[in-house]
Amino acid sequence: MSKLKILALDQAEKTGWCCGTDLYGEWNFKVLRDESSGMKLIRLRSKLQELHEAHNFNLIVHERTGGRFKDDIASSAKMVSVIQVFCEDNGIDFTAVSATEIKEFATGSGKAKKEDMVKAAKEKYGFTGTSDNIADAIHLYHLAQERYNKYV
């Protein structure tokens, strides 16, 4: 089997994604005026399809839903459901990694702050942006490369 092609997602209203060393970005799924809340889920599925057609990934790794705020947890869980259905429909494997694991991988501390994650992405991977969402996705991508490609 060849090396896994991984898409890493830090899913939220602003979703960071990474599917290559220099291939990353951020999608804004803020619900617009006069839209139902389901529109962000429709846009997420569309973005996943667009990226899959361009890069043909065969594993999606996303941040495990968790936290203290019920609305954020519910929103993230809905997004994870869309990711999982997309994967099932397209024969793509998926898995989740906790925020603590991502932070520990990136900085050595499971309690790293957003700015620490951005700084680590700049130092380790040459990231030039300021988005903590993209930084998280970059770290998750590299964690997944290290963790899962040793099995193929």
Taking only the tens place, the pLDDT of each residue in 110-131 is: 999 999 999 999 999 999 999 9
Domains and CATH numbers, the chain: 6-151 (3.30.420.10)
Q: Around Cβ 8, how many Cβ atoms within 10 Å?
A: 27
- pTM for the model stands at 0.94
Q: How far is CA 104 from CA 37, 107, 111, 150, in A?
A: 33, 5, 8, 20
pLDDT tens-digit readout, 74-98: 888 999 999 999 999 999 999 999 9
pLDDT band at residue 149, thresholds of 50, 70 and 90?
confident
